[in-house]
Structure 1
């Protein structure tokens, strides 16, 4: 599936995003991991105006808030990491949908290859209840403005 992806986009999806999921102790790659993976690519990070460290911090704030909402104080608790699995880390249905949207954006732009910017556009076009959307909101990213910056 990833043969139409540029080297940077492919790395974001098959290397960086699963690594971010393992780093957070998650067993599946979600849209939040795709966002972190895409932010490893300078072009996408610059277009969004956010770096991967800021996005990781925003995601940690959201995690802590979710735990606090159910009465768990996670401040100071070290998060578990998962060692590299022997097979590929599965993607959530939301992550698969974001990848499909990225391919559709590339087609609409008549691009021959899917880039990290197309991946970012696929994430920005996602549902507002999506974890990546929550991270973008926490970071104060205006999705409409960011999407306009990505337009060719």
Structure 2
């Protein structure tokens, strides 16, 4: 499947892996794919969000989740994680995004999977997906962005 990815889409997956590692996460999830996409100008402009703003929003969501189970996130420090080495495995949600990308390419009779395809797949995730919470925190109008990207 990755051979169908355009160069920028491959870079996005690499950036997503780096985002997961830098956060100390053992799996690369849909939220990491979004952060990875925001390294690229096209997705960042389409969503109207900067990488730095998305990282801050993700940190707020992490803090809120920890506080909900009784941890004060101000007292916690992230464990240092190696920035190179073993690739974090995909979460089930990230695997579903990859499958949706392939299906979308087949449906559109396209030979290439673009960054826009990836962003659309992230925008279509369900209510309980981490990327959905992150997009809500960023106040992204998912339907409007999806419609714009699909019209291209």
TM-score range, shorter chain: over 0.9
TM-score by length of 2: 0.92
1:73-120: CA deviation from partner (whole Å, max 9, x where unpaired): 112643234104533220011001011112222333333211111100
Q: How does 1:22-101 map to 2 (within 5 A)?
A: 22-75=21-74, 77-84=76-83, 86-101=85-100
RMSD (Å), alpha carbons: 1.5
Verify the 8 A CA contact 2:22 2:83 in the aligned structure 1: no
Change (3 A) 1:127 1:150: same
Verify the 8 A CA contact 1:4 1:113 in the aligned structure 2: yes
Tell me how far apart the structure 2 counterparts of residues 58 and 76 of structure 1 sit (CA, whole Å): 19
Change (3 A) 1:109 1:49: farther
Tell me how far apart the structure 1 counterparts of residues 41 and 98 of structure 2 sit (CA, whole Å): 19
Number of residue equivalences: 151
Unaligned runs of 5+ in 2: none
Which runs of 4 or more aligned residues in structure 1 lie more than 6 Å from their structure 2 counterparts after TM superposition?
Answer: none
TM-score by length of 1: 0.92
